[in-house]
Amino acid sequence: MSSFRQDFIRFAVQQKVLCFGEFKTKAGRLSPYFFNAGLFNDGVALRNLSQFYAQAILASGVPFDMLFGPAYKGIPLAAGTAIALAEQGNNVPYCYNRKESKDHGEGGTTVGAALQGRVLIIDDVISAGTSVRESIELIRAAGAQPCGVVIALDRMERGLGELSAAQEVQSNYDIPVISIATLDDLLGYLHSEAGMMQNLSAVQSYRDRYGVKNG
């Protein structure tokens, strides 16, 4: 496991963003873990999270020209990631959308740089894929090219069919989904940490039951 992926899992556990227990998912499944990116809610946490996003993007090697943050959760993520990339010598523009079009001032549905070139979408997770679909439609309507989606954690969990939400996005739109960490990275972390055997067993059982065959 790449060191930054393991560091990210540890960071999420320390921030109580990643918790263990019994949690009911939207699909009605009882999950032994819960990931709530909304709890990265102070300056230090957002700075560190943004640095992890930047590391994942650069490690992926996906070429891009700008970042896009879908409202609302993607807005601070895109802004923070743009700052983290700039600190590493990669200064790129970013923009985000409004939920409702503005008919005064500068108007329009997006704020920030104009959508153009290869656009990387920054979000927290992919569940139903609605946010990704809307983002891709908006980017294409502006004449730009969506080139990938970056998320914090890929649960690697089957949806209605045999594919995960991330795999469905990759299949439907022919763009890569980059994650800072995956469920398999979480299992690697639990395996290496003392006192996590019970959580390891529960997460592995969940992976065996609901996980996709290939990450």
Give the residue numbers annotated as catalytic, written as ranges: 102, 104
Which amino acid belongs to residue 171?
Answer: S
Q: What does residue 53 show for φ and ψ, rounded to 5 degrees?
A: -60, -45
Question: 72 preceded by cis ω (within 30°)?
Answer: yes
What is the rounded CA–CA span in Å between residue 177 and residue 46?
21
Say if CB 128 and CB 165 are below 8 A apart. Answer: yes
Output phi, psi for 174, to 5 deg: 55, 45
**DSSP H or E segment with residue 150:** strand 145-154
Beta strands of the chain (E only): which ranges?
Answer: 18-24, 30-35, 66-69, 94-102, 108-112, 118-122, 145-154, 177-182
